[in-house]
Amino acid sequence: MNNKMKRSSSISNLFVRTIPCLTIFLIFSVQSFATDLIGVNDAIVNLTVANSPYMITGDVTFNGELNIDPGVVVEFAGDFSFQVNGSIDARGTDTNPIIFRSATSDYQGYIKLNPTVSLYPDLYRISNWEVSKLTDGVTVLNDYILSDFDVSECVRGVVIGWYSSINLENFTIHDIQKYGIYCSYANSNSSTINITGGEIYNCGNYPDFNYAAAYFYYDGYSSAYTMNLNIENLKVHDNIYYGIYFRKGSGTFNANIK
């Protein structure tokens, strides 16, 4: 009986010693198959499921054409930017969303969408994204249609600014430390923002300030410029402080809420 107990004990010890080695092997295996993304890309870039996940190991900029297949996963190894200055076609599906997330438990990384030409819906339509654990979930600086997306557990959810003509459709933004939507538009220009069929909840968890679920500030520096904000069927609930907060400087701020 004692021999059986010793044998059982030795097997258990072997098992315990083996598990950490196996765990380390699995971790390194996953990392070794990630495709690194870094630097400036001026040509056509295709992000495919076959080469996914992609690891952002430094700031990356796309000045040409960027295509992202459904099901692609992009992870941020640090607080780096993923900036799109050219055209983009990035449409996931309900069953195969495009995923952007931190590679660790830290808030890190941000997506910046900044096309340099006018709006072409086929080139700048983005749908079925899942974004989580980033510093800024998605920063939209100009002419985009974002639909059917989910942003969660970021410091800020969606940031809107500059010469924006933006459409946000059928989205959820939740569990955000500061603002769910943050729009600070101070420029000598007009802007139109359309928000339809979204839901924002559990935002403003950061303790240093009274944050709003959705914050809109406009200063056109002149009465000649206008911001048109159209909100329809937006659900805002269970946030820590403010729901929707409006602030205006110079210019005209038209808010139409249904």
Count of all residues that appear for the chain in the document: 258
Within the chain, residue ranges assigned H as helices are: 2-32, 121-124
Work out whether strand 136-140 and strand 110-113 pair parallel, antiparallel, or are unpaired: parallel
Peptide bond into 121 cis (omega under 30): no
CA 167, distance to chain mean position in Å, is 15
Token pair recorded at residue 93: 């599906």
C-alpha closest to that of 173 among 164, 181, 182, 184: 181
What is the full per-residue pLDDT of the chain (258 aa) written as tens digits?
A: 433 333 333 323 323 333 344 444 333 334 447 899 999 999 999 999 999 999 999 999 999 989 999 999 999 999 999 999 988 889 999 999 999 999 999 999 999 998 765 545 555 678 999 999 999 999 988 778 899 999 999 999 999 876 667 889 999 999 999 999 998 876 667 788 899 999 999 999 887 788 999 999 887 677 777 888 999 999 999 998 889 998 887 778 888 998
Say yes or no: domain 35-257 is CATH 2.160.20.
yes
The dihedral of CA 177, 98, 144, 162: what is its sign?
positive
In angstroms, rounded to a whole number, what is the distance separating the alpha carbons of residues 134 and 75? Answer: 10
The pTM of the full predicted model, rounded to 2 decimals, is 0.82
